[in-house]
Chain A
Amino acid sequence: MLGLTYVAAVLATLPLLLILFHLLRQGAASISLEFFTEMPRPVGEEGGGMSNAIVGTLILLGVASAIGLPVGIGAGLYLADKRNAPLAMTVRFLSDVLNGLPSIVMGIFAWEFLVRPFGGFSALAGGVALGAMMIPLVTRTTEEMIRLVPASLKEAALALGYTRWRTSVTIVLRTALPGIVTGALVAVARIAGETAPLLFTALGNQFWSTSLREPIAALPLQIFSYAISPYSTAHSMAWAGALVLIMIVLIISLIAKYVTRRKFAGGGD
């Protein structure tokens, strides 16, 4: 029995290892400084990079986090505090539904409400679509992490004369913070690779753009368009893009670990 669990444990990490190995083999050759600093070259031409898509993805993640983190953490705090209130039960259920919502549906929704009325595809619409996808993830992990903080700790703070608000922020939230940060970063990593919600919102862009009101390039979109093209040079760029995307996700995870480890360094509040 124990032997089987060992096998399962190895199998659980196998996909990641295989993906990483394969991406390194296929994509590493195309990665150079140029890949990060140059714009895409015309179809069929060798070389070039994805600087616009890398920056675009970072901008999209920034917009998504600016929406998804405050709303998600706030909602998670509410759910943890008002466990059984009718509104909390409803929000919890709907957030689970939202979590399971196919991302293409989110894309169509964002197109309907953020692209069509404003007359064009935009980075903002893409960021909002991704942010909306983050909300349920962040809400639920925040709630879980807050619930892990013992009620006795909250009582101790209240008995010391902390206000409810201050107890929530400086005791409960801070104690749960490493978990919440990890959950938030997992959510960011999760949406970093989303393609479907961006198809009808951020659209993609061959040119350099950092404007929130213009269509913007994004790594997943760029990978997609390179991968479906018939040129082998484009295919190797797609592999390289995928490798960079995975690297971004890995870096985010490493930051999460670092932040968690440093929790006592500051001291005080």
Chain B
Amino acid sequence: MRAAETERAPGIDPATSEPTLASVAPAAPPRIVTRRLNAFFGDLRAVRNVSIEFAEKAVTAVIGPSGCGKSTMLRCLNRMHEITPGAIVEGDVLLDGVSIYKGGPDPIAVRRHIGMVFQRPTPFPTMSIRDNVSAGLRLRLTSRPSKTETEEIVESALQRAGLWNEVKDRLRESAMALSGGQQQRLCIARALATKPEVLLLDEPTASLDPMSTQTIEELVYELKQSIAVVIVTHNMQQAARVSDRTAFMLAGELIEFDETTTLFTRPRDSRTEAYVTGRFG
């Protein structure tokens, strides 16, 4: 679990953005901003006019009942929504002040800057543990890391994901031999290896046992020391445990967005209150 110090806060790729302000943590501008974001599946409007900011070096949780559009909203942040046939995104999403939709940015390039981990662990079954972690690195056309650099990156990504000690002696083995919780941490390591600026977690512990869940939650807490983390969860206790700020969504709309403690203890909206007190959902 203790490995965050081996890794510097990822700098911003000079090609894509403004000079970094990472050193001024509290007043840092938000990493991701959405502006009147709407997402559709055909005629179904799953996300409605969501404008929200995701802070640097913080964990933002998005909660809400099933079907409220929280995962869809998350998938708009790295342009994964549009891979579904018939899916449309309107409005805008800014990463460090630059639109990831307008002005023709390549969605592939966007996804390389924003890591994502899914509900079920998705290790690539044909690859070894090491190759899983370095999978994203091999995509680079230029400045592809050398073999030794790759080894270092793999080790540090596995360290950050808290998996290194468990797998260091079997990096060449299949990733499928790992337990569910280990596989999920492997997926986090895989996402971290490319040094993303933001990490999106889509219900990352929904398929895991309580012990693995706790490990992942501790890991999320570590990760926010260096990057922005957005976690979608249907588990309110989890949101309360890991996040600095929490957004509550209902029927595609952003109902309330506040400091996590405020949202859970003194919600302003009656619907938020009803949800966090367990009266529906």
B122 touches A156 (CB 8 A): yes
A161 touches B124 (CB 8 A): no
Q: With both chains docked as a complex, state the minimum distance between the C-beta of A79 and any C-beta of chain B, in angstroms.
A: 15
A159 touches B135 (CB 8 A): no
A155 touches B135 (CB 8 A): no
- Chain A-chain B contacts (Cβ-Cβ < 8 Å), number: 71
B63-88 interface (Cβ within 8 A of A): 78, 80, 83
CA distance A157 to B139 in the complex (A): 11
Is residue A162 within 8 Å, beta carbon to beta carbon, of the partner chain? yes
A-side contacts of B80, CB under 8 Å: 155, 158-159
B126 touches A177 (CB 8 A): yes
Which of B109, B124, B172, B174 makes the CB contact (< 8 A) with A157? B124
Is residue B116 within 8 Å, beta carbon to beta carbon, of the partner chain? yes
One digit per residue, 1 when the CB lies within 8 angstroms of any chain B CB and 0 when it does not, for chain A 140-183 equals 00000000001011011111111100100001001101000000
B83 touches A160 (CB 8 A): no
Is residue A257 within 8 Å, beta carbon to beta carbon, of the partner chain? no
A-side contacts of B122, CB under 8 Å: 150, 152-153, 155-156
B-side contacts of A177, CB under 8 Å: 126
Q: Interface stretch among B35-43, B160-168, B187-195? A: B187-195
Is residue B108 within 8 Å, beta carbon to beta carbon, of the partner chain? yes
Q: With both chains docked as a complex, state the minimum distance between the C-beta of B152 and any C-beta of chain A, in angstroms.
A: 17
Q: With both chains docked as a complex, state the minimum distance between the C-beta of A151 and any C-beta of chain B, in angstroms.
A: 10
One digit per residue, 1 when the CB lies within 8 angstroms of any chain A CB and 0 when it does not, for chain B 93-129 equals 0000000000000001101100110101010111110
Residue of B nearest to A161 (CB): B112
B122-181 interface (Cβ within 8 A of A): 122, 124-128, 130-131, 135-136, 138-139, 172-174
B-side contacts of A163, CB under 8 Å: 108
Residue of B nearest to A268 (CB): B131
Q: A152-B120, A155-B80, A267-B131 are in contact. Are A160 and B136 (CB under 8 A)?
A: yes
Q: In the complex, which range does the number of interface residues on chain A fall in?
A: 20 to 34
Is residue A263 within 8 Å, beta carbon to beta carbon, of the partner chain? yes
A-side contacts of B138, CB under 8 Å: 268-269
Is residue A264 within 8 Å, beta carbon to beta carbon, of the partner chain? yes
B-side contacts of A166, CB under 8 Å: 139
Specify which of A153, A166, A174 lies most central, judged by the most chain B CB atoms within 10 Å of its CB: A153
Which of B118, B174, B191 makes the CB contact (< 8 A) with A155? B118
Q: A166-B139, A269-B138 are in contact. Are A158 and B187 (CB under 8 A)?
A: no
Q: With both chains docked as a complex, state the minimum distance between the C-beta of B157 and any C-beta of chain A, in angstroms.
A: 13
A162 touches B128 (CB 8 A): no
B83 touches A155 (CB 8 A): yes
Q: With both chains docked as a complex, state the minimum distance between the C-beta of A267 and any C-beta of chain B, in angstroms.
A: 5
Which of A153, A161, A175, A263 makes the CB contact (< 8 A) with B111? A161
A263 touches B139 (CB 8 A): no
A-side contacts of B111, CB under 8 Å: 158-161
Specify which of B135, B191, B194 lies most central, judged by the most chain A CB atoms within 10 Å of its CB: B135
CA distance A156 to B189 in the complex (A): 13
B83 touches A264 (CB 8 A): no
A-side contacts of B136, CB under 8 Å: 160-161
CA distance A155 to B79 in the complex (A): 11
B131 touches A162 (CB 8 A): no
CA distance A115 to B112 in the complex (A): 54
A264 touches B118 (CB 8 A): no
B-side contacts of A268, CB under 8 Å: 127, 131, 138
B126 touches A174 (CB 8 A): yes
CA distance A148 to B190 in the complex (A): 23
CA distance A145 to B83 in the complex (A): 22
A-side contacts of B108, CB under 8 Å: 161-163
B-side contacts of A159, CB under 8 Å: 78, 80, 111, 115-116, 118
CA distance A266 to B130 in the complex (A): 13
B109 touches A264 (CB 8 A): no
Q: With both chains docked as a complex, state the minimum distance between the C-beta of A150 and any C-beta of chain B, in angstroms.
A: 8
A205-259 interface (Cβ within 8 A of B): none
A-side contacts of B116, CB under 8 Å: 156, 159-160
Q: With both chains docked as a complex, state the minimum distance between the C-beta of B83 and any C-beta of chain A, in angstroms.
A: 6
B-side contacts of A264, CB under 8 Å: 126, 128, 173-174
Q: With both chains docked as a complex, state the minimum distance between the C-beta of B110 and any C-beta of chain A, in angstroms.
A: 8
Q: A156-B118, A160-B135, A166-B139 are in contact. List 16 more A-B contacts (CB 8 A).
A: A152-B118, A155-B118, A156-B122, A158-B80, A158-B111, A160-B115, A161-B108, A161-B111, A161-B112, A163-B108, A171-B124, A171-B126, A175-B125, A264-B128, A264-B173, A268-B127
16 A-B pairs in the complex with CB atoms less than 8 angstroms apart: A153-B122, A153-B124, A157-B124, A159-B80, A159-B111, A160-B116, A161-B108, A161-B139, A166-B139, A171-B124, A174-B126, A175-B124, A175-B125, A264-B174, A268-B138, A269-B127
